[in-house]
Every structure is written in C-alpha cells, then in structure tokens.
Structure 1
C-alpha cells in the first residue's frame, strides 16, 4: 500500500503544477495505485467542497490562483501608462488579482473592457501580482457613446451626436441614471439588440444641456475620452512647486530673449534672439525647463505621460500640465526669471549651421510679443511695445530668418499651402466669424528657429549616444502616390512615376498647380498622400521636413515627447539627477506609442469640434447657396468644401439626378451611366445648404451646378457601364503601349 499525501501536500503540489493537475497526474506524482486511488478521490472531493481547489475540465487548481491560461478583462492603463487586467471570472477569496499585460510589437492595441485569452504567471517580484502575455483578443469592450437622451414611456432612447452613426440606442427604465429629456449624456452598450432591433445602452453620466454655451468642446472631451480633470495629488505637487534659483545654471538674463506667440497665448514655451557676427549670426533658442518641475516618478509625470499633449479648442485648452505650471512657473513670462534649456547655434550668412552648444540656464524675457506686433514693426509700423526692440532685437531676428529661409529653399522640405481656419467665438460661446489665418513671416521665423533647435537636439543626443525620442515621418506608400498621380493627371498636371521620391518632386507639382483653380485640390491631395507622423526611439527620418534626424525639443509645456528629450539632454550633459530614469529608458518605445495615440486622439477631437462649430455657424443660412469644390468621393455620395468657410458637407448620391453613378475608387471619380459626366476631386461646385446639425457637425448639400453647368437629369437608373469610360481607358492603354514601344 502506497503512502497517501496529506491535504497540505496535495494543495502545495496542485499550486506548483497548475498545468498538470488532473487526478491521474496527482496519482502519478505521489505514486498512488490500486485501491488507494479511491481514497485520493475522496480527499480531492473534500478539498473541492471546502473551496480549497476547484475543478475545470478534469483539472484541479487552487481557486485563489489563476490558471496558466486565463480569460482576462482589460482594465486599461494605470497612472504610469502600464496596462493591467483582471480575471473575467474569480472564485477566490477577496479582490481578484491584478494582472500586468506585456504587449509585443505588432500585437493589437487593447482598450478598457476588452476580453482576452492570455498566458499568466505569478510575478517574480510580487507574489500578489501576475504577468500575462496575449494569446488572442476574444471580444472588445462595451462601446461608449455620447448623445441626446429622449425620455419615453419605457426608459427612452439616445440619439448619438456622432455624424457617422445613423441609429439610436434603447435605454431601459432602470438604466437612465436619472437623465432628463433633452440632456446630453454619456452611455455604454449594455447588451444585444432588443426586439425592436435597436442596440441597448445604459447611461453612465449626465453632461447637462447640449445647447449651453461652449458645450461643443465638452462634447468632444467626453466623446474622445480626453482626461480633463487633474487628480488631487497632481494639483498638490504643482501648487507646491517653487521658482528655480540660478545655482549652477548659466546666466542668460542679459540676452534679449523675446517670445513671439499668438495674441491670446497663455503659455510661452520658447524665446529667441539673434546676434549678428562677421560670418553670419549666433542664434539663441531658450525653452522652458519643464524637467525641473516634472520629475521621473512624480504624480505630475505620470499624468503628463497619460495625457501626452495639450488639446486646443476654440473656447478652452485641455492642458498636459496644471495651470500652476503651464501658465505660471514654466511659462517664460515677460520680466520674470525662468529656468530654461537653451541652445546656442552658429549659422553662416546663407543659413548653414556650423555648430551648436546646449546650456541649462536662467533667463528673463524682456518682451512678450504677438506675431502681428512683430511683423508690423519690421514692416514699418512699430507700436510703443515694439519700438524699443526694433533695431537691436527684431531687425537681426528677421535678417537671420532670411538666411534660414535660403537654407530651407536649398533643403526643399514639403511646401504645402493650406490656410488654417480660425473660429472666433463671442463671450457666450457662439460663433461670430470664421476666418483664414494670415501666414506672416513672423510665423515662419519662429518655425525655422524651432526646426533648427530640434535638429540640434537630435544631433547632440546621437553624438553623446543617449536615447532619443525621434519625431518620425516616413515617406508615402506606393498606393497613395498612385492616387496622387491620378489626381494630378485629371487636373492636367504631370507627376512622374518610377523615380526615387523626394520632397522636391512634390514641391514641383505644388508649384505647377500654384495660381490654378486646382491648387487647393493638389495641396489637399499631397497632404492626404502623406503618412502619419509619430514618436519612436528608432530613427527613420522626417520625410516632410527632408531631414535625416529630428526630435521635438521646443514645446515641453504641451508635449511629453519634448520633456523626454529635455531629460535626455540633462543626462547627456550631467546637469542633475532629474534626467532620464531607468523607467523612461526601458519604456521609451511604449511611451512613443502611447503619446502618438494621444496626439491622434487630440487631432480628431479638435477636428470634430471645428466641424460642429462650423455647422452651428451655418445653421441660420439653411437654403443659401455656396460656392466650393469637390473634396471627396465615396460610394454613397461626394463631399464639397465651401470656399467661404472651408466647411465640408455631403451631397448624397441619391440626389444627383436620375442616372446611375459608377464609383471608381482608384481614380476617385463618379461617372454617370447615361451622360458620361465625370465628377472628380477639385471640380468647382455650386451647392445649396439643406441641413446643418450643430450637435453632430454634419452638413447636407444639394448640388446645383458642377463646373458652371447644371447636372444632367438622366433618363434611367441603368447600371450599364458608361461607354465613354471604356473608350477613354482604351485610348489611355494605346498611348501607354506607344510610349513603351518608343522607349524600346
């Protein structure tokens, strides 16, 4: 007769061997045979009844421990940006364990509420913590939405404010969260469709009156999950911050480092000055030393990393840092001593940089100017603020800019000409006007100084072999270039194929379109062909700027990437113990992905807010006629961009006469089956505004004229292929064969 193990020995073995814990495995491990198996079975049943072990598919395990393969529910990132999850089902005592998720490159991004299958193991550092590797995602988290609640006899419905959504959501009586009819609410999906075919949702938060002043940006904040409220510990750290003394810093308070910003700017990241030399200029760019206040491991740092960047709306800013820092201690205010990291750069008279040096310093800004003020001064109309700085500060600055502009011309970065819209609001939050911002030399001056400083930062960190958070912009894909080529050819312009693409080739196309009716279309098409820029510790160059290396250094108040570059410079120069931490270095790739996602989230939120403001502005002009151009083609219709405001609206395909329209995705055209009329990107259009929804930002147009002509009515809705297109393709093929034969 074999010796039976004790209950404690059984429990210990099952915990240590979760993968091999069937009854047969237990018997084999303790060499239990014959009639003793009956006693073993009784002991295991007793342990199961006591809740000390549980049985899953003939395997035994400790219910207070996770099995090696578990179904987990993603909780989302913590304050450090690390991703955590919890078991989807937990039968153990106390709270379910936290599981740290480590995602490999190429694995899908996971969101809060997603269900995953993962391999789990107890953390070597903390027995109460598990680590996990993703096997596969088996379900996404509950969908969240923002909309208008409409009360009904049995709960109510939510009308989404997302213009891409064409269906309402049903809310059960017990899931209204006390919302009133007409209120703006946040909700999440609560189950499958009901008997009426509508998806079900539960209201999680009441956001108030959707028509309230400045509610437009509030909608974007909730819709895109922007963190707009700082935790108490973050506010406490910011409030406790004190001014930084000179100490061992370089004293630059004698330099005329002025700031040039928008007139309504509240924070000032950068200050500049230029000093003429016999061979050119010495340029100084001083950037707020945010790293002195936002240190590794602090609550301020954790929150800044999660936010990634500040988000700007027409009526408010969702800042990366609390106002005590962003608008005060870190901001380079006029007449105040401020810590900075400054780069001293030497350029020749033709704008070539010959050397640079970084300093951790203390500065004092003698003047905080607006772009318009600085420009007016050098154009001959200085005011009382700019007159004292005209000769010794502004004149050398603009002279240095002309040198940098000459270097830029030689470098040939991408030279897009896309005017920026400016939405002007009244005090009560209503749109009073929509303007296009004037592009001044003062804007370009500051940009060129910042680009040069960013390049210097990347060069220094590479030379000192320190980690760099690069700003990466890869070249366009062949597919996008083919689409651009189609658009250029349709506009009567040429864009050669088969060459090694450089920005100068795109600039040649833009220059050829300048002054033509198709100029805006070509600029938009070139922009759409570009890849999305992102942050990464690997350098793949910056295609748009035509630079081999580039790092964001100049805006640490509003971008976390810049703060990391500052820390790297601090470490590289041995300026203090507030440089890059081990955690920063180990998680540089993950941080790059996190802040790149945050940047895209902010861009979408800002764009949606602009669309809503424009729709609200045009709502009173329903029925009016507007001139514009076709800006987009889709199966369901075409988009027209208005010349007056830059607003985009949809012309549904069903309203374009009586004929059938054939959609060509490659050439981005619509062709009438009867008339053969081709609608392409950039075609001039006259439209009538039929609908304008300020809540969704949606505009619906009726097409009146295309290229100065009325639309053909068409006699049928035939789906026959248009003969003109066949003929055109045949001719194009013949020309291609002829050219090929000629080359041979």
Structure 2
C-alpha cells in the first residue's frame, strides 16, 4: 500500500547537522537573486546598497566573496567608482541540463547549437532537467565544455528513489540514473519509510557545489518487488500526471452516461448506418467507427465507380470544453500512457471507456469525416471529395483485428458467421483498403517493415513471455481509413485558413543524411535524390534491399536518419507517409492534439474561430493579433510534443524494468542472438527467443585491440581480424542484470561464430579508430550498485567520457492507427 506522510511543520533542524564549508554563508543571496535584481535595476549600485536591498548585511564577507566570484565568471563587473553593474557584454548560453548515469552531463542549448560537456564537478550544482546559463570554457577531448554560471530554473522538486540507511545517516538514492546526487534526509523527515523501500521525496534544499541536496519523505510506495512498482516509479520519475484533480472527477461524475435527446439538435442522425469498430482484443476505449459503401461518381452519362467512406470519431470536444477542469487535466497529460496491463488515461474512465467511447449498441455523439474515393482511373484510391459534420451513431458491432481478418479469409467460417450482419460492409472496407494500398505505393510512401513484440504479463504484473506478432490486413485496413481522415482534417484547416496543429515529419538533416550515405556507400548502395532526397527515393531503396540478409539493418539506418515527428502550426507535410497535409484527428480520447483539431473544425462548421488560451505565454500579449495566435499554437505544439516524448520515455522505462526482471531468471543461461548495435565500448545483442537487448562490453570480446568504425558500425580486432557488425549471429551467456540502471549484460560464448566473424584479409576501412584494449575483467564502472560505488564509478567514467549520444537500434513500437 502506498503511504503518504502527514504534512509536517517547517523543520529547521534538517540542515544543521550537515557540516558546511567555512566560507559558505546561507544568508548570502544567491547569484540568481543578485542577477535578477541587477537586471531589474540596471543603474550602477554600490555593493553596500545592493546588499541592503537584498536583505543581507553590508559588512558580509560572504556577500563580498559572491560578488567577486560573479566578477570572475563574467556575470558582473565593478566600474571605476567601485559600483556593481550587470555584464551585458558576455554572451551566456541558455539551455537544459541532461545528466548521464556516469556523473557527467551535457547542456542542451536552446539555440540548437552543439551540446556542451558538463564535468562531474559542474553537475554537483544542478539536477537533471534544470535550466541554466553557462559560459563556454575550453574543450574536453576535442568537444566544447561549459561552466554553469546561473541556475535559471529548478525543474526537480520531487523525485522517487530507494530509502537507505548508511552508517547512521538516511539518504535516498534516486531511481533516475541521470541524477547522481544522494538526497540527505533528516531523521525527523523519514516518515514511515524503512530501509530499502521505494519512496517519493520533496527537495527542501537544492544542491550546490559544496552541499548535497536535502529532502523529506512525502510518500512510501512500498518494496521494490511489489507488483506494479515499476509503473509507480515511472510515473513519478518522468513526472507523468496520474491522479485526476477532485474538480475533474466531480465534473466527470455530472456528465450523464447516455446521450440526452436535447444533445441531438443540429446533428445528422446516422444511427441506422451499420458502423463497426475494429480494435485489439484488449481495447477498452473506442475512438473510431467506420462504414463503407460503393457509390456512382460523375454525371448520369459518364458514371464512374467509387467508394463512400465514413469515419466517425468520438465527439470528445462536446464534453471537454476549453478552460474547464477536464480540459486542464487533459492538456496537463497530453496523451494517454500505455503500460503492460495498465493505462494512465488522458480522460477519466467515465468518459474514455464510457460516454465518449463508441461502444456497441449505444448512441454516441461523433464528428464525421465523410469521404468519396475514386475506384478507377488515374485517381484510383484518391479522395475526390469530403465533408465534416456532427452526427449521432449507434455502433452495430465491436470487432477485433483477429476476427475481421479471419472473416475476410473465410467468410463462411466461425468469425464470418458471427459478424454476418456487418460482413458485407467489412468486405467493402477491404476492397477500399486495396485501393488505398496501391495509391500509397504510387505516391511513394515508405513501407517500413519492423518486427513488433508484445509483452504478456502474469496476474502479478511480471513478464510471462515476450512474443513477436505481425500486423494483418485488418490492422492496415483501419490504419488507411484513419490516414485518409487525418489528411482531410489537415486540408480542411488549411483551406479554411485556420491555425491548428499539424503532425509534421521532416526529412533527414544534412548530418544524418551524410551518415546514412557513408554507411550505404560501404555496402555498395546509394540513396538517390542528392542533398534533398524524397520519400520516393527512400521507398525505392527499401524495396531494392528487401531480399538482402542485412535488410533489417539497412532499414534501421534509414529510420534513424529521419527526424522525429512533432506537432507544429507550420504545415511542412509528413515525409514518411508522403503527405503534403497531415494532422491528427482520429484519437481525441487519448491524444490532446486530436481534440484541438476537432475544436478547430467545429468552429469552422459553426462560423466561429477557435483560439487556444495558455496562461504561461504572457510574452505573446505584446505581439500583433495574428502573430499572437501563431505564438500560442507554436507553444502548444512544443508542449504537446514534449508530453508525447514523456509518455514514450515512461513506457520504455517500464518495459526495460520488466525485461530486467524477466531475464534475472535466466542468468547463466546461453542464448543465440544478433548484433543490433555497435559502439566503441561494446556491442548490443538482441536475443532471438526472448526479444530482449543487452550489451557485451568490449572487455568481454577477448584479449585484442578493437577498432571502432563508426561509418560501418563495426568493431574489428587488430590481431585476430574478428569483427562484430550489425546483424552478426552470436551466442551469449546472460552474465548480469542491473535493475537500477535497467541494463542487461551478456558474455560472449568463446569461439562462437568465429568462422563467420573472422574477417578476410582486406584493407582497413577508412574512419576506423583504435579503442581501448579489452581488459581481462569488467571495469569497475560496470560493477556495484550502492551509492558509494556509484559515486566512485562516476568519477572514473567521466575521465573516459566523450560528449555525444550513442545511437542504438530502434525498438519495435506500438501499433498505431495514425502516425
């Protein structure tokens, strides 16, 4: 059971029992406070007047030292009269701190420039996620380094970790490996926590270069191996909202469970139309229902065959209005978060699984995208006309991908018989899908074929097995219907000159394109298109290599070269799908951007204009009206893109935790696998039968010097000639599982695959660089998980650190109706 500590009074004892440096004066205003005052009061000011204005003693030695330190770092300077001024000449770099598990970090610059290395010493001042100002400070191993001069915003005020008692002191070791500080807890602030338990703490005092952070326990989550603990940790670790406000729950409780007759006014009545939903077996919220029938196109004399496709989407915007409690919680979440066996919904269940869900045999309010698609000629599979309108439907059947595919293959079989009343309309959908598929090929959309896996858990929430599954044509049928509706929504906003959020997926950056071309060149392959390849160029390459044994690797490299999809008011198209206009419209129950698209469309239908409101964008108030509206949408796009990534990070963290628990039962066992990632410090292996990835450290590859060729993604032994490349088959033994780091370690079985891995005598590939000789045992940085060991490992690892990110193989994602 999760226990929350009672609200305590202010505890002045917590900081007194920890020794501070002799020159540390807690009464001295921080740099942040001094800088804020100097910005607000730019006129020269004497140190004494400044100290008094900030509530400090004019004779304070600590205050004088702080001003001199700020002068040394270029933040302030003294004029000839000895007065203090803000140094506006020095250009500081603003950005966000990204911690690393080995103690160092990076500054992710707001201006998009190259990341700056932050030494472990600099990381003592901050926590992962803090926003800072920094100044460039030389280089570290050829990469730019920075010194933090001001913490602009503290982003970590709460965190989750293990409560430990070490040598009479209480500490919390954060679960987030990017935070290397142990949080000191006063004995009066431990609540009911016991040694080893997982707790949530509130930060009472942020870290400085001289002091550790202080905190107090506010919640006891339980033991580390309690069922569902991995989810409790993830939602707190990534700050995922997981409890609805009382106001939201009260508002949701007042919404009727059925559609009222008064709500049908102004809506098209489609309750007699045999709409169906097609989803997975475990789906509970049904955003969309579909119906398809043949139609005649053209004039009476020149009739042409066509299809009419109706995609009905839950009218969530009817129930969730701008500015109400439901809306506040929905935008705070941004999206539903999916874990094995549990969902953190964007909306309360009474809406997501109830009145908004298009459940069978129930009246539901919807927003319909009604499309006409050509069935022949040069425009076959293209949408020739569409319209949006509000309606009410009555879903005639809830079907699954498995049953629909079985019915399409054998209409007279059990599945076909069970859905006999709606089977003709499903067969219509399948014929339309085949047209869509042909049009997809014609427009040059990339057809990536990635392996997808599904985690099957036991009643206790632990992994029972991980299994591969393939998407059948029923999945693809629904996906194409959703893609069609999404393109219409984007085109509708554009045609009516309304701002909104588009789903933007841009092509490769010049740097990523060069990396991909270098890799392909070494394989004797080329990507057409010069400096600006199109989706068709990518699709042509993927098709050409589909029969190759290294197809999966080439496909992965192509995927890595593309940018991440985001939400933006700038319509830049969707590169992967080869659409000029694309938005998210079909999942308003689980995605806030879709809800915004509904509001824009409905405002047009009602002759109005929808403009979102954000409390935290005061700077936009000074802009002209048109620019102000654009700034609001731009801010929303950034916000919702970040919340989408937050949900993905939390889901991946839970999956990594579960996989570590799963593999713990197999330590010492030998498995076959394939190389799915190569780095200078080792190779990543995915097991063929368990579908989990782990690392073989370079120290386990044998007593040889290994050269890392970044262009070829290859490690090659200088003496033996053995090389490890993507897709190489190997045999490994599970040697260690580190649950804290979510890391699985393998040991290469001696002699495995030597003939296959032994390279022929050929000249050394360009771009290869010599890496550290393999040691006979694992480096200390990979051992031990206690706080003391981790701190020591951080110092050692920082010496060998090189700024940048190691790219690893892409993971199989969830099946998505619209991308």
TM-score by length of 2: 0.69
Q: In 1, Cα distance between the equivalents of 2:649 and 2:174?
A: 17
Secondary structure, aligned partner of 2:658: helix
Which of residues 387, 390, 395 in structure 2 aligns to 1:365? 395
1:226 corresponds to 2:259: no
Aligned counterparts of 1:166 and 1:507: Cα–Cα separation in 2: 44
- Aligned equivalent of 1:640: 685
Q: 2:229 aligns with which of 202, 212, 215?
A: 215
Partner residue, 2:352: 326
**Other structure's SS at 1:626 match:** strand
* Distance in 2, Cα, partners of 1:729 & 1:106: 30
Assess, with a 3 A threshold, how the Cα gap between structure 1 residues 699 and 165 changes in structure 2: closer, same or farther: farther
Q: Match of 2:498, SS?
A: coil
Counterparts of 1:48 and 1:675 in 2: how far apart (Å)?
Answer: 71
- 5 Å matches for 1:310-709? 310-349=336-375, 350-380=380-410, 381-383=413-415, 386-491=418-523, 493-496=525-528, 498=530, 500-574=532-606, 579-581=610-612, 585=629, 587-694=632-739, 696-704=741-749, 708-709=753-754
Structure 1 pair 136–182 and aligned structure 2 pair: CA distance change class (3 A): closer
Matches within 5 A, 1:705-720: 708-709=753-754
Partner of 1:84: none
RMSD: 4.2
Is residue 272–residue 285 contact of structure 1 (8 Å, CA) maintained in 2?
yes
After superposition, give the CA deviation of every residue in 1:394-451 in whole Å (9 maximum; x if it has no partner).
1111111111111111112111111221111122212122111221100000000000
SS of the aligned residue for 2:273 comes to coil
**Secondary structure of 1:475's match?**
coil
Distance 1:481 1:203, change over 3 A: farther
The Cα of 1:512 is off from its aligned counterpart by 3.2
1:696: Cα distance to partner?
4.2
Q: SS at the partner of 1:587?
A: helix
- Pick aligned residue for 1:151 from 140, 146, 165: 165
When residues 454 and 108 of structure 1 are mapped into structure 2, their CA distance, relative to the original with a 3 A threshold, is farther
C-alpha offsets along residues 668-705 of structure 1, whole Å, 9 cap, x if unaligned? 32222323333222222221111234554311001126
2:13 is aligned to: none
User: Is residue 483–residue 667 contact of structure 1 (8 Å, CA) maintained in 2?
Assistant: no
Deviates more, 1:262-271 or 1:703-712: 703-712
Change (3 A) 1:531 1:475: same
Quote the Cα distance in structure 1 between the aligned partners of 2:209 and 2:746: 34
Structure 2 matches for 1:279-290, cutoff 5 A?
279-290=305-316
1:131 corresponds to = none
Q: What is the CA deviation profile of residues 263-313 of structure 1, one whole-angstrom value per residue up to 9, with x for unaligned ones?
A: 111100000011112312000000000000111111111111111111100
Quick check: 2:709–2:767 contact (8 Å CA) kept in 1?
Answer: no
How many Å separate the matches in 2 of 1:541 and 1:560? 20
Relative to structure 1, the CA distance from residue 727 to residue 180 in structure 2 (aligned partners, 3 Å threshold; closer, same or farther) is closer
- Separation in 1, partners of 2:363, 2:493: 27
Greater relative CO (CA pairs within 8 A, separation 6+): 2
Match of 2:794 in 1: none
Asked if the contact 1:158–1:169 (Cα under 8 Å) also holds between the matched residues in 2, the reply is yes
Residue number in structure 2 paired with 1:186: 200
Residue 249 (1) aligns with residue 267 (2): yes
TM-superposed deviation, 1:218: 1.8
CA distance in 2, matches of 1:386, 1:572: 41
> Post-superposition shift, 1:583?
5.7
SS in 1 for 2:598: helix
Match of 2:771 in 1: none
Alignment check: 8 A CA contact 1:285 1:453 kept: yes
Q: Tell me: CA distance 1:430–1:385, structure 2 relative to 1, closer, same or farther (3 Å).
A: farther
For residues 644-688 of structure 1, give each alpha carbon's deviation from its aligned partner in whole angstroms, at most 9, with x where no partner exists: 233110111111111122223343322223233332222222211
> Given that residues 567 and 580 in structure 1 are in contact (C-alpha distance below 8 angstroms), is that contact kept between their aligned partners in structure 2?
no
Alpha-carbon distance in structure 2 between the residues aligned to 1:706 and 1:143: 51
Q: Structure 1 residues 139, 309: CA separation in 2 closer, same or farther (over 3 Å shift)? A: closer
In 2 relative to 1, CA 426–18 (structure 1 residues): closer, same or farther, beyond 3 Å? closer
Residues 612 and 633, structure 2, Cα contact 8 Å, conserved in 1: no
Distance 2:42 2:209 in 1: 44
Query: Partner of 1:227: helix, strand, or coil?
Result: coil
Q: Which moved more, 1:561-570 or 1:160-169?
A: 160-169
Deviates more, 1:677-686 or 1:140-149: 140-149
- The answer to whether the Cα contact below 8 Å between 2:465 and 2:690 also exists between their aligned partners in 1 is no
Give the whole-Å Cα distance in 2 for the aligned partners of 1:367 and 1:567: 28
| Structure 2: runs of 5 or more not aligned | 1-36, 68-84, 88-108, 116-125, 134-148, 297-304, 616-628, 769-819
Partners of 1:473 and 1:541 within 8 A in 2: yes
> Which stretch shifts more, 153-162 or 683-692?
153-162
Paired residue total: 631
Contact 2:127–2:156 at 8 Å: present in 1 too?
A: no
User: How far apart in 1 are the matches of 2:395 and 2:329?
Assistant: 29
Q: Tell me by how many angstroms 1:314 deviates.
A: 0.5
Q: How many angstroms apart in 1 are the aligned matches of 2:232 and 2:752?
A: 40
Query: Aligned with 1:416: secondary structure?
Result: coil
Instruction: State the secondary structure of the residue aligned to 1:535.
Output: strand
Name stretches of at least 5 consecutive residues in structure 1 with no aligned partner.
1-14, 25-40, 59-67, 71-102, 118-134, 714-721, 732-744
Note if 1:277 corresponds to 2:303.
no
Distance, in Å, in 1 between the alignment partners of 2:292 and 2:431 is 9
User: What whole-Å deviation, never above 9, does each CA across 1:9-58 have from its counterpart, x for those lacking one?
Assistant: xxxxxx9x97488899xxxxxxxxxxxxxxxx9xx99x99999xxx9999
Distance 2:685 2:54 in 1: 70
For 1:706 and 1:672, how far apart are their aligned partners in 2?
14
Q: Please give the secondary structure, in 1, of the residue aligned with 2:731.
A: strand
Mapped to 2, the partners of 1:690 and 1:486 lie a distance apart of 35
Alpha-carbon shift at residue 547 of structure 1 (Å): 0.7
- Distance in 1, matches of 2:398 and 2:535, equals 35
* Conserved? CA contact 2:504–2:582, under 8 Å: yes
Say if 1:474 and 1:531, in contact at 8 Å, map to a contact too: yes
> CA separation of 1:542/1:264 partners in 2, compared to 1, >3 Å: closer, same or farther?
same
Quickly say closer, same or farther: Cα 1:106–1:515, change in 2 above 3 A. closer
